[in-house]
Amino acid sequence: MIEREIKMKLKSPSLNDLERELQQRSVPIISTEEQEDIYFNYKYRNFKQSDEAIRLRKIGNKYELTYKGPKQGSFGKSREEITISISNTDIPNIRIIMERIGLYETFIVKN
């Protein structure tokens, strides 16, 4: 699958102002989601140089493993993206497999 992203700058209120405005209008929060992304590099090829990524994402109690290919084209950000869901009980073995084939953790992003 090819993922396409287009980023734009928008003039908007700060997050605090937006939250205050939503509370004043009694807009309910339907749900919140915390994510933790662990990015890996490969000892046989530098993903930063090849513009690729391997990411293990935790969303609540769910996990997914994603490969992101190099950017394609010049408009927006298009790239191949392949994602699989992983059972949380499989995570230790997935990490062992990744280590054995030469992938190692480089950084973590939480939001």
Active site residues: 39
Cα–Cα distance, 76 to 73 (Å, whole number): 8
Q: H or E element: which one contains 55?
A: strand 53-59
CA gap 71, 82 in Å, rounded = 14
